[in-house]
Structure 1
Amino acid sequence: MTAASGGAQTARPTRLPRSARRKQLLAAAQQIFVAQGYHAAAMDDIAERAGVSKPVLYQHFPGKLELYLALLDTHCDAIIAKVQDAMHSTSDNKERVKGAVRAYFDFMDHESEAFRLVFESDLRNDPQVRQRMERVEQGCIAAVTDTIISDTNQESSAAELLASALVGACGQSAQFWLANGRRTPRAEAEALVAALIWRGIASFPLQGSATGGTPAEIG
């Protein structure tokens, strides 16, 4: 507290812990990057949106690229985690497919529009950005590959190919649905895509099935 004229006292601005400040700055940066794209965004705009001075912003992030990459890391990790959770949260393969589809639709349909940073970046030619895009794809494919190998005993190369097809279908369909104005209600869109994928993946027999039955027959 500091003394003011007339005996009044004013409080000093609250100083946020470093982790909280970083979260605040990332949230402000995301709004600017989503609205303006990387190239048009300015650190001045981000600092103003966060309500801090530029020196404070630079204390946490040495430059615009580092700030952008930190955001990408956050959202790339989130997508991978969603797909991993879809694989690990149930042993019902039909539900796993639904969960993988839902993970992509959740991300694409989120009000933050963070998907634009990952799938519509105007900085895709930058090696560090491209590396993160590839990490998202490979991380999601790996999660599905492990499940396919565990359940069907497919060779790793075949399982990875199947996982790539599943992940590709989830991502492309969710992007198409959003780009075309959500003309199909989301629940219906998810069900359609999941049904298409399931009809393909269910034709591969479960490992250890005495009857040679398919996942569809068993689950």
Structure 2
Amino acid sequence: MTESVGARPRSSRLPRSARRAQLLDVALEVFVEQGYHSASMDEIAERAGVSKPVLYQHFPGKLDLYLALLETSCDLVIAEVREALASTTDNRRRVMASMELWYGYVADQGAAFRLVFESDLTNDPSVRSQIDRVIYESAAAIAEVIREDTGLPGPAAHLLAVSLVGMGHFGAQNWMSRDSDLSREEAVELVAGLAWRGIRGVPQDRPRDPRENSNQGVE
């Protein structure tokens, strides 16, 4: 049988966690290149340099493998949103860091981004729930900051947060897919400036500490 393009030599024995991580890396390549429906477990096993029984020991089926990979990618995005929000108490900088995250994720993690947001399996409820989780958990983290700084009720803070996530997510996706003449830095600066000019106009109900600088809190 002719060896598949990109196939790795049969690999030596690895600890279970390391083997699982390797299989996920290879599966990401195959799913992004071929889409879920065209990808095969045979191809993934061949490229990983393992037998199909080894692959099935870790993932009982193709959908299980895809969902594990999707969950890992989604967890990464959500964790990085929280990290961006925690990186500063200056809300203008928080807006900038959030936009930098989305544009950086699209540019630097292109394969993972396409797996999460351009899946050809979005009609499957289990896949759709993972994709929705990225939007809503990211928005929940942002809404908490907005609620603390403005005193807005939960639904209002959540709506603003979802809108900010949409600006980052859809803006970055459009920027990448259209091969924009704008550099990443220019795009981030433009969109972050728009987001900040909007969010800083939300009334702030909590008492201000006079020691806070003018960029802290939503103005």
Q: Provide TM-score, normalisation by structure 1.
A: 0.89
CA RMSD of aligned residues (A): 2.0
> Partner of 1:95: helix, strand, or coil?
helix
Residue 3 of structure 2 is matched in structure 1 by none
**Equivalent-residue separation in structure 2 for 1:210 and 1:115 (angstroms):** 40
Alpha-carbon contact 2:90-2:215 (below 8 Å) kept: no
**Equivalent-residue separation in structure 2 for 1:85 and 1:163 (angstroms):** 16
Deviation at 1:15, TM superposition (A): 1.3
Residue 174 of structure 2 is matched in structure 1 by 176
**Equivalent-residue separation in structure 2 for 1:28 and 1:205 (angstroms):** 49
Deviation at 1:209, TM superposition (A): 2.1
Structure 1 residues 27-66: aligned runs within 5 Å: 27-66=25-64
Identity rate, percent: 51
In our comparison, the structure showing a higher alpha carbon Rg is 1
**Equivalent-residue separation in structure 2 for 1:111 and 1:146 (angstroms):** 27
Structure 1 letter corresponding to 2:207: G
Deviation at 1:208, TM superposition (A): 1.4
Alpha-carbon contact 2:90-2:216 (below 8 Å) kept: no
Query: Is 1:130 paired with 2:128?
Result: yes
Structure 1 residues 35-184: aligned runs within 5 Å: 35-110=33-108, 112-184=110-182
Q: Provide TM-score, normalisation by structure 2.
A: 0.89
**Deviates further, 80-89 or 142-151:** 80-89
How many residue pairs align between the two structures? Answer: 206
Q: Structure 1, unaligned stretches of length 5 or more?
A: 1-12
Cα deviations by residue, 1:74-104 (Å, 9 ceiling, x for unpaired): 0101111111111112100011001111111
Q: Which runs of 4+ in 1 moved over 2 A?
A: 204-207, 213-219
Deviation at 1:134, TM superposition (A): 1.0
Residue 5 of structure 1 is matched in structure 2 by none
**Equivalent-residue separation in structure 2 for 1:157 and 1:163 (angstroms):** 10
Alpha-carbon contact 1:98-1:190 (below 8 Å) kept: yes
Alpha-carbon contact 1:28-1:46 (below 8 Å) kept: yes
Q: Structure 2, unaligned stretches of length 5 or more?
A: 1-10
For CA contacts below 8 A with separation 6 or more, give which structure has more relative contact order: 2
Structure 1 letter corresponding to 2:59: F
Residue 208 of structure 2 is matched in structure 1 by 209
